[in-house]
Structure 1
Amino acid sequence: MSKGPPPPPPDPVMELCGSSPVTCLAFGEVTFADKKSTFFSGHQDGKILCWNIKSQRILTHLESHSETVLWVASPKENILITQGREGFLKIWAAEQSNWKKLGTISTAAYIFCNSSLLSLADYYLVSVPAEESGTISVHRILSDFTVDGGQTPQKLIPTSQKELGMCMKMCSFLFKSSVQRLLVAYESGSLLLWDMLRSVILSKLKAHSDSVMCLDICSTKDQGVFRAFSGSVDTDLKSWLITDDTLTQDQFVSITNPGLSSLASRRDGRIVASGGWDGSCRMFTTAKLRPLVVLSHHKESVQCVAFSAENRLAAGSKDGYITMWDVYVDK
């Protein structure tokens, strides 16, 4: 007996209208006058909007940067870390109904590369793109979220800077509980795995023929094995295994329309979502990159995707809208 066609994909559970094209997203918590914001969107006009998801309203906004916001993170309640394309990373604390700037770190200006934050026992490490092409600068942030002024930033300088080009994306992670690793994607299409402590390249491979446009990483069910995902201007979504500090190709899948601009893996490491130039979000299994669903709603490129702790997917678009989706959410 025929099962018939599969059911159509669901509609978003909410749609939020931002101030300008949406460039980055993060879930977290900030409280202003007993009202809590649980979601943050960075925009092309340099603003960060702080949303209350229950009311679907903007709680407050932060005039954070003079150029596009490239990255936003909320590692702790009432703390935001933002990076702007003008060349500054800023650390903010919520106080009453205002924002207090705790510190500033210089980054490369007018590029597209995000920063990456790594939480350790007593401090944080933030990796930022440095002014020298292809170079990463690693700074220490203390537990009170001030910048450690007594520490000289560590530099990760590749030997073939001209060959690699600019840094495009990066992800830091802890390998085997305490070993610090950084995966960096470059303009040349290469991926480099760095030992952050020793500033040494551990593994390198050519991932794409063009610049890497998006990158993410997750743990696997095998202890000490991680899986990375990358996309470029073509139709290929690829995954890579990181085993014993070595990068190897895992899986790849071709999507219908070219251009991948964003990737996010779910916290349980089972699903990865992509945002595409065609305005669609797609979900895949991480193990085999098996396509699960195509979510079509936005009129322009989906420039950022993020999962909440409850596995809800958020997608931000060049059209200025943010959608929230309850797809493959455990209820």
Structure 2
Amino acid sequence: MSRPTPSPVYTLRGAGGPLNTLHFSCNGGTTPLLFSGSGKGAIHIWNLNTRRPERIIEGHSGSSVIWVSTRESADNLISQGRDMQVCLWDLGEGRSKVVDSLWTGSVGFCQGSLLETNPGTCLLAVAGEQTEEIKIFELPSKTPVCTLVPEDKLGMVMCIKLWQPDSGAGPLLLAGYEDGSLLLWDVIQRSKLSHVKAHPEPVMCLTFDTKRLKGISGSSEKNLSSWILDTQNNLQLQDDVTLVNPGVSQLCVRGDSKLLASAGWDHRVRVFGWKKLRPLAVLQYHTDMVLSVAFSNHQDSRQRLLAAGSKDQRISLWSIYNEGPDTG
């Protein structure tokens, strides 16, 4: 018998705008937190024990917040807004202070990507002022590292993922573009390593599993495109997943490499087994487009959650497939 359709374990309301981005901070002995960024410029810091906002902060002059993340700990927040600013926050000991900011010049919706390189330092990749360029900075110094611009006309950069391979080589960056292309960049050499056409439409989102060297991307059409990175750093297209309805806002792989979640324009969250891309569940709660999905990083696997943020201004929290063997 098939399992009954799950329901959210609880929901969070009061964000006051569409939920563009979600980020968990649940490891260690501190209070489990969920950060959310809204289309009205507010960042909510939700206490997952009380299920209420611990703090609400604003640093983008009312402009839509498109990305939030943390550096090293939950006290070091980074946020990106449509005001073309990336803000670095100090949230320690009750503070809510912007300690620095970085102007990107980007008018698009491309979310930044963060990679911790050494204790206290990290790399930040963001879309640049020119539509096809990606700029990489070292933080907290804001030192420019490089600018990556493809030779071919691929249109606007839509999504990026910065990561460090186990081989010891320099950081690599995956980027999806407006013409449906995926490019793999060598950050140190400032060179393109591989290029594939993954979609006929703009690449709206991508996620990459650095353990399995496998990724997946989505667009405004019905197909998710999966791909792998071979030992020569070549992108190779693999299987497609055909969705019932077109349009995906975001994709996320759980930290144990077992589950994939998609945020659908059809108001639904879909869950797949990451290994074989087998459909596992369709989560129905939201009344408008789902814009963001994130898996929690609880150390205890039984506490793991999936969060979904929607244009309907609500966040749904789900507890699914936290037990048993590989889900396939």
1:8 to 4, 18, 22: 4
CA distance in 1 between counterparts of 2:210 and 2:91 reads 32
TM-fit CA distance, 1:243: 1.4
CA distance in 2 between counterparts of 1:95 and 1:285 reads 38
Q: Which residue of 1 aligns with 2:261?
A: 273
Q: Which residue of 2 aligns with 1:71?
A: 67
Paired positions, count = 311
TM-fit CA distance, 1:197: 0.8
Q: Equivalences for 1:220-235 in 2 at 5 Å?
A: 220=211, 225-235=212-222
1:39 to 28, 34, 41: 34
Find the residue that maps to 1:208 and give its secondary structure: coil
Q: Which residue of 2 aligns with 1:98?
A: 95
Q: Which residue of 1 aligns with 2:223?
A: 236
| Aligned-residue RMSD, C-alpha | 1.7
CA distance in 2 between counterparts of 1:86 and 1:213 reads 20
TM-fit CA distance, 1:29: 6.3
Q: Equivalences for 1:153-302 in 2 at 5 Å?
A: 153-160=145-152, 163-179=153-169, 180-220=171-211, 225-244=212-231, 245-302=233-290
Asked if structure 1 preserves the Cα contact closer than 8 Å seen for 2:32 and 2:49, the reply is no
Which amino acid letter does the alignment assign opposite residue 309 of structure 1? N
The TM-score normalised by the length of structure 2 is: 0.91
Find the residue that maps to 1:209 and give its secondary structure: coil
1:119 to 105, 116, 121: 116
TM-fit CA distance, 1:177: 4.9
Asked if structure 2 preserves the Cα contact closer than 8 Å seen for 1:251 and 1:288, the reply is no
Q: Which residue of 2 aligns with 1:22?
A: 19
TM-fit CA distance, 1:273: 0.4
CA distance in 1 between counterparts of 2:51 and 2:87 reads 26
CA distance in 2 between counterparts of 1:275 and 1:214 reads 10
Q: Which residue of 1 aligns with 2:138?
A: 140
- Regions of 4+ moved over 4 Å: none
Find the residue that maps to 1:96 and give its secondary structure: helix
- Structure 2 residue runs of 5 or longer lacking an equivalent are 299-303
Which amino acid letter does the alignment assign opposite residue 159 of structure 2? K
CA distance in 2 between counterparts of 1:27 and 1:165 reads 32
CA distance in 2 between counterparts of 1:203 and 1:286 reads 23
Q: Which residue of 1 aligns with 2:309?
A: 316
Q: Equivalences for 1:82-93 in 2 at 5 Å?
A: 82-93=79-90
Deviations, residues 225-246 of structure 1 (Å, cap 9, x unaligned): 5111101111111111011211
CA distance in 1 between counterparts of 2:323 and 2:77 reads 28
- Structure 1 residue runs of 5 or longer lacking an equivalent are none
Find the residue that maps to 1:120 and give its secondary structure: strand
Which amino acid letter does the alignment assign opposite residue 164 of structure 1? L
CA distance in 2 between counterparts of 1:152 and 1:322 reads 36
CA distance in 1 between counterparts of 2:85 and 2:41 reads 12
Which amino acid letter does the alignment assign opposite residue 222 of structure 2? T
CA distance in 2 between counterparts of 1:302 and 1:251 reads 24
What is the percent sequence identity of the aligned residues?
A: 36
Q: Which residue of 1 aligns with 2:144?
A: 152
CA distance in 1 between counterparts of 2:242 and 2:186 reads 31
CA distance in 2 between counterparts of 1:103 and 1:77 reads 17
Q: Which residue of 1 aligns with 2:128?
A: 130
Asked if structure 1 preserves the Cα contact closer than 8 Å seen for 2:26 and 2:296, the reply is no
CA distance in 2 between counterparts of 1:21 and 1:6 reads 33
CA distance in 2 between counterparts of 1:246 and 1:14 reads 42
Deviations, residues 92-119 of structure 1 (Å, cap 9, x unaligned): 0114333122221111332110100011
The TM-score normalised by the length of structure 1 is: 0.90
CA distance in 2 between counterparts of 1:108 and 1:326 reads 39
Deviations, residues 64-100 of structure 1 (Å, cap 9, x unaligned): 2131111100132311000001101111011433312
Asked if structure 1 preserves the Cα contact closer than 8 Å seen for 2:224 and 2:241, the reply is yes
CA distance in 2 between counterparts of 1:258 and 1:201 reads 30
Asked if residue 329 in structure 1 is aligned to residue 317 in structure 2, the reply is no
CA distance in 2 between counterparts of 1:309 and 1:44 reads 25
CA distance in 2 between counterparts of 1:128 and 1:77 reads 21
